[in-house]
Structure 1
Amino acid sequence: MLKFLVRLFLIIILAGIIFAVFSNVLIISKTRSKIYHDLSKVPKKEVALVLGTSKRTVKGEANTFFDNRIKAATELYKRGLVSKLLLSGDNRTKYYDEPSDMKKALVKNGIPEAAIEMDTAGFRTIESVSRCANVFNQKDVVIITQEFHAFRALYISEFYDMNAIAFSAEDVPVYSATRVNIREFFARPKAIFDLYLPGKHNQFINQ
């Protein structure tokens, strides 16, 4: 009995690893061509969906991911490549409010408040993308985030029939990104479960 349980456990682990690798290959291969790194090649879109992240690291330092997303959103708007910025993120408490932090940074960069709209229920990437399409009725968008994150965001956007592309905000140094790349490796198979388990994806729209 013990040998059977050990064998079953190892089979489950192996199947999980195979599914995780398959999910990563699938998501990256399907979306890579939709990610832009050069501003001069980005096609015009009405709206940029800026995905939220904390403005500070756990050590209290400035978060390069946040700063680079703000920089990218500012440049896209000022070059006339988008006319509106939808800021989607977590505002779990009055002391942690990603959309408000992004708005303050963008206004400081000279972006008019009239061009900014906030989604304060974007607690996860799937929520930000699905709500962009189904609550804010925006499907022709450019998603602003780092490349490692853009693959998953674009895959989710395809599920919701969006005509989305992504602009990769400048990446942080490799040593800073290692932890988030590992987390993203496991987030991609979870996204597939969230999207394709019957009835599950609908819960992300009307929160």
Structure 2
Amino acid sequence: MLALAIALLLVNSWVRWATADYRFADVASIPTQQVAIVFGAGIRNNQPSAALRERLDGAIRLYQAGKVQHLLMSGDNSQVNYDEVSVIREYALAHGVPASAITRDYAGFSTYETCYRAKAIFGLEQAILVTQDYHLPRAIYTCRELGLAAIGLSIPDWSYQPEQATTYYPPMTQVRYTTREWLARCKALFEVHISQPQPTFLGPSVGLGETTSAQQ
């Protein structure tokens, strides 16, 4: 148990340290890129969850500030009645992002698959990742190890700039998310360095502005 605890600590410290130079706390300081990737975070009654809404707001700020020209919306459409990325798209449209600046990836079932498909399907070489601070180190690490030179906009949560967070995370939720993320970082290292699985769906390459379905 002690060895396992030490291993978890080392892995998580490594992922955060290795990505420290690629994480930015505000829109003004982040370098300009062509594309921002928004990771899905669940929908409720065809509306973005609070966490997803925060990510979308961050991506919209990047677009409005001229930091990116395009948004790649990645999420889950594995079931007919669950279309995460279309909900994401409608939210962005309602906040002034034109349809021509939005691409949907319906088969972004995980952080690993989103990063893999961003490069293999959509041909990205660089991107800004938009997600909460607790998730951002893993997302950047995964993308960069898969050949996508990613930097990230950190959305404040309980672990970084908590006073700026717009969503309240109860203490037990913080513990659950933190524990899950620590384990997920270990899995991420295994995936990118050892198992290197292909995504659930891997179809032909398409350009930005084109849409892929979960069946491709």
Q: For this structure pair, what is the TM-score category when the shorter chain's length is used for normalisation?
A: 0.7 to 0.9
- The residue that corresponds to 1:55 in the other structure is 43
- The residue that corresponds to 1:6 in the other structure is none
Over residues 82-133 of structure 1, what are the superposed CA-to-partner deviations in whole Å (9 max), with x where a residue is unaligned? 0000011111213222211111110111111110001111101000011111
Q: RMSD in angstroms over aligned alpha carbons?
A: 2.1
**Higher mean C-alpha displacement, 145-154 vs 60-69:** 60-69
Q: What is the aligned-residue identity percentage?
A: 31
More helix by share: 1
The amino acid of 1:46's aligned partner reads: Q
The amino acid of 1:22's aligned partner reads: L
Gaps of at least 5 residues in structure 2 are 158-166, 203-216
Q: Are positions 1:178 and 2:175 aligned together?
A: yes
Structure 1 residue 79, shift from structure 2 partner:
1.0
The amino acid of 1:48's aligned partner reads: A
- The residue that corresponds to 2:28 in the other structure is 40
Aligned runs of 1:1-207 on 2, under 5 Å? Answer: 13-56=1-44, 63-171=49-157, 172-175=167-170, 176-197=173-194, 200-204=195-199, 206-207=201-202
Over residues 141-169 of structure 1, what are the superposed CA-to-partner deviations in whole Å (9 max), with x where a residue is unaligned? 00011111110011111212222100012
Report if the CA contact (8 A) 2:35-2:69 is conserved.
yes
Structure 1 residue 204, shift from structure 2 partner:
2.3
Structure 1 residues 205, 196: CA separation in 2 closer, same or farther (over 3 Å shift)? farther
**Higher mean C-alpha displacement, 38-47 vs 93-102:** 93-102
In structure 2, what is the Cα distance between the partners aligned to 1:63 and 1:45? 26
Q: Report how many aligned residue pairs link the two structures.
A: 191
The amino acid of 1:104's aligned partner reads: E
Over residues 148-191 of structure 1, what are the superposed CA-to-partner deviations in whole Å (9 max), with x where a residue is unaligned? 11100111112122221000123233424332122101100011
**Higher mean C-alpha displacement, 156-165 vs 46-55:** 156-165
Report if the CA contact (8 A) 1:135-1:206 is conserved.
no
Secondary structure in 2 matching 1:203: coil
Structure 1 residues 178, 75: CA separation in 2 closer, same or farther (over 3 Å shift)? same
TM-score (norm 2): 0.81
Report if the CA contact (8 A) 2:115-2:148 is conserved.
no
The amino acid of 1:42's aligned partner reads: I
Q: Which runs of 4+ in 1 moved over 6 A?
A: none
